[in-house]
Structure 1
Amino acid sequence: MDQEFDARKLLDELKANYRVILIFTIVSTLIGMGLTFFLLQPIYQSKTDLLVNRTNPTEEGLRVSSNDIETNLRLIETYRFMIESPRIMDLVAAEIGNGMTSEKLIKKTNVTTFENSQIISIVVEDTNPVTGSKIANSVADTFQTEIKKVMNTDNVHILSKAVVLPDQKPVRPKPILNGAISVLIGLILGCTFILTKKYFNAKLHSEPIVEKLLSVTVLAVIPYFEKSKEEVAASIDQPYVNLIHKGSNLSPIAEAYRTLRTSLQFHSTDSDTTALMVTSTNSGEGKSLTSANLAIIFAMDNQKTIYIDGDLRRPNGHTIFEQTKRHGMTSYLTGYASLNDVISTTEIPNLSFIGSGPIPPNPSELLSSKNMDQLLNDLKEEYDVIIIDSPPLIVSDPIILSSKVNDCLFVVDAQNSKYNQTSKSLSKIQRMGGNIVGVVLNKDKSINQSQYYYY
């Protein structure tokens, strides 16, 4: 089974749902532009540039040598730290006033330097360009004054002061950039929603969907019919009232399982004895009922059939066929009973039964044992069809059993099974060499009951 996505199929899926993508894009764009124009405050940037050199240029005509510049480059990082220090910021905060603190100033102020340059830029971002310019210039003036006091030198010079331009524009938010980002986010969310819904959270609710997504053959579709009040009342004491032998052999359910039997005979591996494991992804998907009805339909076809309850964790085969739970497969696998001791007959001709037996502490180890191989080999000599009802793939038991049987039949619940989980379950079996002969689509509501009674 090829689980890789076809790029062309993905593109076709996106094209088919372009309206959904368009809606996501429009909504995302509206939200982004709404934030840009109505909720986000405009931020203005003010900048003051400083020149740092080593020589004190108080004497007229004094030149700055290259050695002075090279030496002075080592001071840049120190000066950068000093500008952002509490010593400078506290003085600036006191000068600005209006509840300004050094912590707020540090957040607003960014001091940048340039490689192989003696320039330090003080950049202040504020919602008010006038306040931002005032802060930037105050930081520069205060730093220049403090350097004279602390280092007893006059090597910091203000190259350009921050000014407020008449047409000054905010640096943030940027409507064009935000709009482009909003459109991109909308496209990504729309595509993700479609692909997630289609491939990962998609319900496997119809035969075409199952075959398309899982790349497996649907051998039969079991219809879903609403139970009558009498059937609901009966199911309280007898949960498996839908067994074929409890109703009409001409019922839609019986016809569906006859279709499944025929499909299995056509698709299964060439072997004298059919050893078939039935499993599903989760419990409650109809695995046990499918196993039981399939065993019954094979027996009705005059094939010597045996049903094995291979669920050693939560067995229910004894309930289905109204058998004792005392002895079973675990009794044989642990050496406490012979094969003849654990095989019992049912009220259905040609159908025998092996229960799970007492629940063991180590079901996986028992199923992978040589005794399990011997059990199957002995049964193949006596029976035409072996049906094993395994646990769902939330445990490792089905993976172990899949390597010991001819074929694996997978049950999919049309009402609840999801693509992502089912795909992973099928892959687990295939990685262990199990042969997925096909899928049974159970509880399909799309089939009209009258279709089965046409003839």
Structure 2
Amino acid sequence: MNQAQSVRQFTSGSVALLPADAFGGQEEQVSLVRQYTRIAWRWRKVIAGSIAAALLAGIIVTLLMTRQYTAQSTIEIAREGNAIVNIQGVERDATAGDQEFYQTQYGLLKARSLAERVATQLRLVDDPRFFEMFDVDPITLFPAGDRGGSAGDRARRIRVAGALLLDNVDVSPLRASRLIDLSFTSPDPQISAKVANAWSANFIQATLERRYEATSYARQFLENRIGQLRGRLEQSERALVNYASQQRILSVGTEKDSNSILGTNLETLNNELLKATADRVQAQARYEETRGRSGETSEALGNAALNTLRSKRAELAADYQRLLLQFKPEYPGARAIATQLAQLDRSIAREEQRVGGSLEGVYRGAVERERALQERVQQLTDDVLDLRRRSIQYNILQREVDTNRLLYNALLQRYREIGVAGGVGVNNVSVVDDADVPERPSSPRLVLNMILALLAGSAIGVMLAFYLEQTHESIDDAEEVERSLGVPLLGTVPKLTGRAPIDALRDRKSPLVDAYFAIQTSLQFSTESGVPRSLAVTSTRPAEGKSTTALALATLLARSKRKVVLVDGDLRSPSVHHLIGTGHERGVSNYLTGTDDLGSLVVHVDEFDFDAITAGPIPPNAAELLTGARLPQLIDALLRTYDHVIIDAPPVMGLADAPLIGTRTEAVVFAVESHGIRAGLARTALQRLAAANARIIGVVLTKFEPKRASTGYGYEYGYGYGDASRGAARA
């Protein structure tokens, strides 16, 4: 890449010496900082004026403000009152509901009722000076000739006084503590201290009153409820007694005890019945056993008397048998023994009969006892069932009595507890520090007001700067050209004060010449062949410096030993003839209308050593002349003789001449007046040229004032550099 291409690409903003992401977000940050700095520098006077006005306003407001005095008291609010009557402990542990509790307390401290209470206690509602301190006209609150007023007037004053107190009181909880600062601000230090102390005292009193009222309401409610339950309990007990009397239910102990006695008796009788049945079965068996064989029963065999008789009979029977072995039955001895045996047999039969009769008696007795026990068990069973049947309703009535008695005892106990707690009267709010009468005013604060005014003025100034930056479209800086217009910047031309441009061009050491020399250098590297041979200079509107730019480029090119011709292409309002000091009787319009003698139209400018063609007579149809084929022929004819053809074209806006000329030349230089032309108009003009396929090579920023630039540095040094040394050299 040659040097011309490098400079041209750098001028057009297309060269990137490093990759786009080499610096990353740092370039964006630097760009933003530069942009904000540029905006602040451009509108520095607006920002400074806004700050100055805000500071002045702050001083005036501070001097006009009424001195305010703030008195502060400190109170402590515990979560609940100390549990004096509680066995577990004195202090209550913190819970998750503390935040809700303290927020409620803060709201109560700002309650309207508390403010009105303080105002009434301090008699502020009857003091006209109190209302005057807060800019409230007392005439509207105190009827003429009546200091007290009616009840309605006093109620109105109470509401107004309470609102004034609420507007000037401040509740500030201390973080991570149970302490709260109560402060009141007013123009009177005595009033401030009184209100702050009265506020704390009345808050404590109001807290106690709310507790007492709550306890009183609870006691009244419990008294009514206890009376109702007492009546219900008496009614239920009366119904229970009446039912027991009607049903002849005797309750020595509890129902469980009565059922246990009956159950025990029934169980005992059942056991006796089982035993009697067993005895009857045993007696019946023995009795059945004696029937037909009374002597063979176990009772008979075990009877001692019967056994004795049988033993004697056996002995006699043995003796009788021995005698029969020797004697006959008629033997007296044998008959005596036989008589004894008969007598023993009768005795044994009588004894066996007696034993059998006793067994029958035992059996009959067992049967009778069993029957009697059965009847008693059946009767007891009927009694138990009847008792259970009657006990159902009795138990229902008894449960109702127990329930009513339980509720009555519980409410009675709670009533006694509330009475004890209400009598203790412990408060959870206490005053830590009373408010003292302030010796110094709390406001206004000059330093704080100045800081706030400085911040407000800075904020307003910055907002105004951004607003003006958005609404301001003039180009004040060389860096804005490419960003606003999208066209490369060829150079900037300083504004001349007290000196004509033609005079500045005569002085080769003037800043104007240095500026246009830099522009010529940029043009030198704009194309591969150097400065374009045919070049049109135009602008958005008149008086932007396009004619001066065309003259300066022609002058500098001529001084670099180039053959240059300056053509006045503005056929409506020509100006080249004024710059070179000649007339415009013959010129471009003559050639465009058919004159072929081009040499007769050329005027040599000896002072700057270049040729010029004026506009000639002003035609009525300039656009039609420029549309024809004569303009390209003119440029081609001049290029055969001259190295460069520079055309001073008319402005773009409102005319079709400049686009027609731009399409016929190799390049177009667009002059933009700094601090004057709106960027939107310049963009529109450039779009018209681009739509006509004109090649816009760059922009020249004319009438530039470094002091009005957004950056405020750099340019003035370059334009004036070397003047003193050159003057010394000339000397």
Q: TM-score, normalised by structure 2?
A: 0.34
Q: 1:450 aligns with which of 705, 720, 723?
A: 720
2:628 paired with 1:369? yes
> What is the alpha-carbon distance in structure 2 between the residues aligned to residue 271 and residue 277 of structure 1?
16
Q: Which amino acid aligns with 2:679?
A: Y
Superposed, 1:200-211 pairs within 5 Å as 201-211=472-482
2:543 paired with 1:284? yes
SS of aligned partner of 1:267:
coil
Cα displacement (A) at 1:431: 1.3
SS of aligned partner of 1:438:
strand
SS of aligned partner of 1:408:
strand
Deviations 1:279-316 (A, max 9, x none): 11111111111111111111000000000000000001
Superposed, 1:13-24 pairs within 5 Å as none
Aligned to 2:585: 326
Aligned to 1:420: 680
> What is the alpha-carbon distance in structure 2 between the residues aligned to residue 363 and residue 434 of structure 1?
19
Cα displacement (A) at 1:365: 1.1
SS of aligned partner of 2:551:
helix
Cα displacement (A) at 1:324: 2.2
Cα displacement (A) at 1:350: 4.3
Give the conservation status (yes or no) of the 8 Å contact 2:670–2:700: yes
Give the conservation status (yes or no) of the 8 Å contact 2:504–2:510: no
Which entry has the higher C-alpha Rg, 1 or 2?
2
Deviations 1:233-282 (A, max 9, x none): xx6xxxx544512xx21211111111111111111464796100001111
> What is the alpha-carbon distance in structure 1 between the residues aligned to residue 689 and residue 699 of structure 2?
13
Q: Which amino acid aligns with 2:640?
A: E
Q: Which amino acid aligns with 2:482?
A: E
Q: Which runs of 5+ in 2 are unaligned?
A: 1-11, 14-27, 40-45, 51-462, 707-714, 726-731
Superposed, 1:76-225 pairs within 5 Å as 197-198=468-469, 201-225=472-496
Cα displacement (A) at 1:375: 0.5
Q: Which amino acid aligns with 1:426?
A: L
Cα distance, 1:196–1:419 mapped onto 2, change above 3 Å:
farther
SS of aligned partner of 2:525:
helix
Cα distance, 1:205–1:260 mapped onto 2, change above 3 Å:
same
2:654 paired with 1:383? no
Cα displacement (A) at 1:225: 3.6
Cα displacement (A) at 1:349: 5.7
> What is the alpha-carbon distance in structure 2 between the residues aligned to residue 451 and residue 282 of structure 1?
32
Q: Which amino acid aligns with 1:399?
A: P
Q: 1:352 aligns with which of 611, 615, 621?
A: 611
Give the conservation status (yes or no) of the 8 Å contact 2:538–2:670: yes
> What is the alpha-carbon distance in structure 2 between the residues aligned to residue 269 and residue 419 of structure 1?
30
SS of aligned partner of 1:392:
coil
Q: Which amino acid aligns with 1:396?
A: A
Give the conservation status (yes or no) of the 8 Å contact 1:273–1:384: no
Give the conservation status (yes or no) of the 8 Å contact 1:346–1:353: yes
Deviations 1:116-139 (A, max 9, x none): xxxxxxxxxxxxxxxxxxxxxxxx
> What is the alpha-carbon distance in structure 2 between the residues aligned to residue 193 and residue 281 of structure 1?
29
Aligned to 2:668: 408
Q: Which amino acid aligns with 1:335?
A: G
2:689 paired with 1:429? yes
Q: Which runs of 5+ in 1 are unaligned?
A: 3-7, 24-191
Aligned to 1:254: 513
Aligned to 1:343: 602
> What is the alpha-carbon distance in structure 2 between the residues aligned to residue 362 and residue 310 of structure 1?
13
> What is the alpha-carbon distance in structure 1 between the residues aligned to residue 619 and residue 531 of structure 2?
32
> What is the alpha-carbon distance in structure 1 between the residues aligned to residue 575 and residue 482 of structure 2?
30
Q: 1:244 aligns with which of 501, 505, 525?
A: 505
> What is the alpha-carbon distance in structure 2 between the residues aligned to residue 410 and residue 197 of structure 1?
26
> What is the alpha-carbon distance in structure 2 between the residues aligned to residue 196 and residue 333 of structure 1?
50
> What is the alpha-carbon distance in structure 2 between the residues aligned to residue 200 and residue 364 of structure 1?
35
Which of structure 1's runs of 4+ aligned residues deviate more than 6 A?
Answer: 192-196
Deviations 1:58-86 (A, max 9, x none): xxxxxxxxxxxxxxxxxxxxxxxxxxxxx
> What is the alpha-carbon distance in structure 2 between the residues aligned to residue 195 and residue 404 of structure 1?
42
Cα displacement (A) at 1:415: 2.2
Give the conservation status (yes or no) of the 8 Å contact 1:280–1:287: yes
SS of aligned partner of 1:411:
strand
Aligned to 1:308: 567
SS of aligned partner of 1:299:
helix
Q: Which amino acid aligns with 2:490?
A: L
> What is the alpha-carbon distance in structure 2 between the residues aligned to residue 452 and residue 417 of structure 1?
31
Aligned to 1:294: 553
Q: Which amino acid aligns with 2:480?
A: I
Cα displacement (A) at 1:418: 1.2
SS of aligned partner of 1:320:
helix
Identity of aligned residues (%): 28
Cα distance, 1:262–1:454 mapped onto 2, change above 3 Å:
farther
Give the conservation status (yes or no) of the 8 Å contact 2:523–2:531: no
Give the conservation status (yes or no) of the 8 Å contact 1:269–1:406: no
> What is the alpha-carbon distance in structure 1 between the residues aligned to residue 618 and residue 523 of structure 2?
31
Give the conservation status (yes or no) of the 8 Å contact 1:306–1:387: yes
Cα distance, 1:413–1:315 mapped onto 2, change above 3 Å:
same
SS of aligned partner of 1:209:
helix
Cα displacement (A) at 1:381: 0.9
2:570 paired with 1:274? no
SS of aligned partner of 2:640:
helix
Give the conservation status (yes or no) of the 8 Å contact 1:199–1:420: no
> What is the alpha-carbon distance in structure 2 between the residues aligned to residue 454 and residue 243 of structure 1?
17
Cα distance, 1:208–1:266 mapped onto 2, change above 3 Å:
same
Could you say which structure has the higher helix fraction? 2
Give the conservation status (yes or no) of the 8 Å contact 1:407–1:435: yes
Q: Which amino acid aligns with 1:210?
A: V
Cα distance, 1:206–1:244 mapped onto 2, change above 3 Å:
same
Cα distance, 1:422–1:434 mapped onto 2, change above 3 Å:
same
> What is the alpha-carbon distance in structure 2 between the residues aligned to residue 219 and residue 337 of structure 1?
36
Deviations 1:23-60 (A, max 9, x none): 9xxxxxxxxxxxxxxxxxxxxxxxxxxxxxxxxxxxxx
